[in-house]
């Protein structure tokens, strides 16, 4: 697996052995970053269920200011840390080992809030809706923040989560990608 664009283009990333982690396919990752190209520069990124950290590292490569990576598995956390060091972004990245299923209390609601969130939970584990609700409850999203969720294409994403507006959905074979916008201030219009 490699970084596909930006400053680290072509940089090989360490990956986890076995089938416990399912990395985002290059085609899907490239599509996500083509869609979000105009909003990545200088953003604060949150990569949930981070696995190898490929999504957050890709964002850093393309101009994000900072990234926080969260995963509950020790091998994943170690691989993310290795990839951060390899990409030389230790000053802009932080890794947290945390079980997102419980809550996101590992993140303070203090500034900086996040502009862009990537979420790639294990398929068919029913973690998407609880994680989205934790994001809103924790108060860590800027108004109009983009939240991008990768999921099995056969699993519908429920659009009616308070504080989030579903803006787009795409299908790439067995993978679905849903795009949300945070609606922290109900009076603000979407861009």
pLDDT digits 0-9 by tens, 136-159: 999 899 999 999 999 999 987 877
pLDDT over 60 (residue 110): no
pLDDT digits 0-9 by tens, 169-191: 999 999 999 999 999 764 444 33
pLDDT digits 0-9 by tens, 50-92: 999 999 999 999 999 999 999 999 999 999 999 999 999 999 9
Q: What is the mean pLDDT of residues 163-174?
A: 93
CATH number for the domain whose boundaries are 26-182: 3.40.50.150
Q: What is the mean pLDDT of residues 114-130?
A: 91
**Cα–Cα distances in angstroms (integers) from residue 105 to residues 13, 17, 64, in the given order:** 29, 29, 23
Q: What is the mean pLDDT of residues 3-15?
A: 93
Calpha distance 148→55 (Å, rounded):
10
The continuous run of DSSP H or E covering 98 comes out as none
Calpha distance 191→189 (Å, rounded):
7
Annotated domain spans of the chain? 26-182
114-119 and 66-71 beta bridge pairing: unpaired
The continuous run of DSSP H or E covering 35 comes out as helix 26-35
pLDDT over 90 (residue 12): yes
Q: What are the backbone dihedrals phi and psi of residue 182, each rounded to the nearest 5 degrees, phi first?
A: -75, 135
Predicted local distance difference test score (pLDDT) of residue 22: 58
Predicted local distance difference test score (pLDDT) of residue 161: 86
Reduced to 3 states (helix: H, G, I; strand: E, B; else coil), residue 118 is strand
- pTM, rounded to two decimals: 0.90
**Residues paired with residue 10 on neighbouring β-strands, in sequence order:** none
């Amino acid at each position: 697996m490699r970084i596909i664009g930006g400053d680290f283009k072509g940089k090989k990333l360490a990956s986890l052995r076995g089938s416990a982690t399912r990395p985002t396919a290059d085609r899907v990752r490239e599509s996500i970053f083509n869609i979000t190209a105009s909003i990545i520069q200088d953003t604060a990124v949150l990569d949930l269920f981070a696995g190898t950290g490929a999504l957050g590292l890709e964002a850093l490569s393309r101009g994000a200011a900072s990234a926080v990576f969260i995963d509950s598995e020790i091998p994943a956390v170690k691989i993310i840390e290795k990839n951060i060091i390899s990409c030389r972004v230790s000053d802009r990245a932080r890794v947290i080992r945390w079980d997102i299923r419980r809550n996101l209390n590992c993140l303070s609601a203090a500034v900086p809030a996040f502009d862009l969130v990537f979420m790639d939970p294990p398929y068919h584990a029913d973690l998407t809706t609880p994680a989205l609700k934790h994001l809103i409850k924790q108060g860590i999203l800027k108004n109009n923040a983009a939240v991008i969720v990768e999921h099995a294409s056969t699993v519908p994403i429920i659009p009616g989560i308070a504080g989030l507006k579903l803006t787009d959905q795409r299908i790439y074979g067995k993978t679905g990608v849903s795009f949300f916008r945070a609606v922290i201030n109900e009076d603000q219009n979407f861009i």
